[in-house]
Amino acid sequence: MTETAGREPVAAPSDRGLTELVGRERSRLAAFIRRRVADPIDAEDILQDVFAELVEANRLLMPIEHVTAWLYRVARNRIIDVFRKKTPERFDDVAPMGADGERLSLDEFLPSSADDPDAALMRQELLDTLDAAVAELPSEQRDVFLWHELDGRTFAEMASATGLSINTLLSRKRYAVQRLRARLQQAYDDLDT
C-alpha cells in the first residue's frame, strides 16, 4: 500500500495491503458502529458490509483518497439504511403462536367472556399474566413499551423527551415484546393443555 506525505493510503493494491487496512481500522470502526446501533448482530452486519464494499471498491480499482473517512461515511450510510428498515414491534406481535404455527391475534388469544364463566376465568387469568409480565419488565423496557402501546407516543417524541436515541428506544421495545411474547406463550401453552 502506498502512502503520500501526511495522507492515508489511496487504495490497497494487494490483498495484503487490504488485510492490513482492515486490521488497523476494524476495532475503531466497530466501536463507532456499536455506539450507534444497539443490536450487536446489526452492528456486526454493518461492519461486514462496510468492509465488503471496501473489497469491492479495491477490486474495481476505485481511487479512494481518504480511506478512513470513506469507511466511516459508508458505515454511516449503512446505519441509516438499518434505521429506515426497522419498524417497531407492535403489541399484537406479543400474542403467542397457535397450534397451526400462526401468531394468534389478541382477540383469538383472549377468550370472550360473554356468558361463559370458564372463558371469563381464562380471560382474566391471561390478563393477569399479561399485567404481571409487563410489571416484571425492566423499567426502561416497560416505560418504552407503555409509552408506545398505551400512550401512543412516537419514538421521535420519546427520544426528544428522554434524550435517548431512537435506536435505543426501538431496541428496548423489541426486548420488551420478546419477553412478553415468551411469557404469554408459556401461559397460553399451560392453559391449552
| pLDDT tens track for 159-192 | 889 998 888 898 899 888 888 888 877 777 776 6
pTM over 0.85: no
95 and 187 in a single domain? The answer is: yes
Q: Which has the higher per-residue pLDDT, 28 or 125? A: 28
Scanning the structure block, which residue is given the C-alpha cell 397457535? Answer: 98
* CB neighbourhood size of 31 (10 A): 10
Q: How many CA atoms lie within 13 A of 44 on its CB side?
A: 3
| Residue located via cell numbers 473517512 | 69
Q: What's the pLDDT tens digit per position in 32-86? A: 888 888 778 888 888 888 888 888 877 777 777 777 888 888 888 888 877 766 6
Residues 67 and 157 in one domain: no
Residue 8 is predicted with a pLDDT of: 45
Tell me which of 57, 85, 113 is where a domain ends.
85
Q: What is the CATH number of the domain that holds 115?
A: 1.10.10.10
Residue 52's CATH number: 1.10.1740.10
